[in-house]
Structure 1
Amino acid sequence: MYGNNLGEMAWMDLSVPDANHIKDFYQQVLGWQSEAIAMTAQDEKYNDFVMSTPANNEQIANAGDGDSSAGFATGICHAKGTNANIPATWLPYFLVADIEHAAIKVKEHGGKLVTEIKSMGADQYVIIEDPAGAHCALYHKGDKI
């Protein structure tokens, strides 16, 4: 995770048809390391990936506290299941206090909801398109904010 305050970017990921290929691309180009995350969509099992930078890998190893989430750089996901209609672009997730209220504000101010509000455990998110056509996600961290 990145920021923890309202309006800050909390996460960024990329959903593509072939996450394995794109994961390999960024490993070769940027030196990122990957950690597979088991996923299931329509009874199909596959892996999405959490990526970390070489510097973050070293920090994680030296921290010794077992919390590797601080070193994650991004996610690379298959465009399947709940990610099926996500555009193949780097997608930042910005923190909001109330996901329903934020979704209403998007529409009131000329934006569109690309997806319905989705749940991931206690967290919720919605992918939006702003009036210029740019995409991002609004993200609510359960009851933490």
Structure 2
Amino acid sequence: MSQNKAGMIAGFDLTVPNANGIRDFYADVVGWKPKPLSMGDYDDYMMLAQDGSPAAGICHARSGNADLPPQWITYITVNDLSASLARVTEKRGEVLRQPNGTGPGGFALIKDPAGAVVALMQNPHPS
């Protein structure tokens, strides 16, 4: 799931009202194994491929994710998240959610000029 080069897909998350039901759906349909990730009073899930490598995340639409529609969000790595976010607005896109942190793994949600939503993530392993 994870790539170490800027411009590559780093992963996918699905945020839905009932992560447990959708977790079970994908476990049964594609064979992913859920690994709980504690969010305090509930668990989100890292879905693991047959070999144990991370395949995707399935999250509850709660807390910071409460306003997300039920859709897969793709994470694309960038070497400089701040610079990329500045270019988003210069190129008529929109920053929907400011970065959740700085440094490797920090990410922000953007909407491109066509209306598609994607996450830009600070490359955890810059080249």
The amino acid across from 1:14 in the alignment is L
Query: Quick check: which has more Rg, 1 or 2?
Result: 1
Which 5+ residue runs of structure 1 have no aligned equivalent?
58-70
1:13-57 CA distances to partner (integer Å, 9 max, x unpaired)? Answer: 1111111011011111112110111112xxxx0000010222x24
Whole-Å separation in 1 of the counterparts to 2:120 and 2:55: 18
Structure 2 residue aligned with 1:110: 92
Whole-Å separation in 1 of the counterparts to 2:64 and 2:78: 20
Offset of residue 97 of structure 1:
1.2
Whole-Å separation in 1 of the counterparts to 2:123 and 2:64: 18
Taking a change above 3 Å as real, the CA distance of residues 52 and 4 of structure 1, as seen in their structure-2 partners, is: same
Structure 1 residue aligned with 2:64: 82
Taking a change above 3 Å as real, the CA distance of residues 135 and 122 of structure 1, as seen in their structure-2 partners, is: same
SS of alignment partner, residue 131 of structure 1: coil
Report the TM-score, using the length of structure 2 for normalisation: 0.90
CA RMSD of aligned residues (A): 1.7
Whole-Å separation in 1 of the counterparts to 2:34 and 2:18: 15
For these two proteins, the number of residue pairs brought into alignment is 126
Are 1:50 and 2:46 an aligned pair? yes
Report the TM-score, using the length of structure 1 for normalisation: 0.79
Are 1:2 and 2:14 an aligned pair? no
1:32-84 CA distances to partner (integer Å, 9 max, x unpaired)? Answer: 110111112xxxx0000010222x24xxxxxxxxxxxxx11000011112222
Query: Greater RCO between the two (CA within 8 Å, min separation 6)?
Result: 2
Are 1:28 and 2:28 an aligned pair? yes
Whole-Å separation in 2 of the counterparts to 1:6 and 1:87: 26
Identity of aligned residues (%): 37
